[in-house]
Structure 1
């Protein structure tokens, strides 16, 4: 087990969730896409929003795919820093 596995297991125990239902690679992929293609602080916020959507019944893989596609189509700011970055 990795530190991340241990952390996810501990958080799931704290929140009364089943760690087997946590799609860690999917969440990490979406966070990476947002951090690299939109803005770094958007990664944890997007992960939270993905969690809200899944909690309301969205399919995790489909929602993550949509968010990664959105991040991939996000316009690049060539003028410098982005607010909140």
Structure 2
């Protein structure tokens, strides 16, 4: 296991979650897309929003795909 895997396992244990429920690659991919195409501080906020959506029953893969698509289509000048 690497440091990230160790951290995820420890954080899950602390919060009473299963590591089987963690979609780390999807979260990291979305965070990358937001940081590179929208604004860097948007990455952790977007990860938090993903968690809220999934916690409310949304499909993790769908949430990740929608947010990545939104970030990748974001106008370079930051305006819609």
For the superposition of Structure 1 and Structure 2, which TM-score range results when normalised by the shorter chain?
A: over 0.9
| Deviation of the 1:43 alpha carbon | 0.1
| Deviation of the 1:10 alpha carbon | 0.3
**C-alpha RMSD of the superposition:** 1.0
| Deviation of the 1:25 alpha carbon | 0.3
C-alpha distance in 2 between matches for 1:74 and 1:39: 10
Q: TM-score, normalised by structure 2?
A: 0.95
Tell me, which stretches of 5 or more residues in structure 1 are unaligned?
79-85
The answer to whether the aligner puts 1:3 opposite 2:3 as a matched pair is yes
- Runs of 4+ in structure 1 displaced over 6 angstroms? none
| Deviation of the 1:73 alpha carbon | 1.0
| Deviation of the 1:69 alpha carbon | 0.3
| Deviation of the 1:77 alpha carbon | 2.0
Corresponding residue for residue 50 of structure 2: 50
Q: TM-score, normalised by structure 1?
A: 0.89
Equivalenced residue count is 78
* Deviations, residues 6-58 of structure 1 (Å, cap 9, x unaligned): 00000000100001110100000000000000000000000000000000000
Tell me, which stretches of 5 or more residues in structure 2 are unaligned?
none
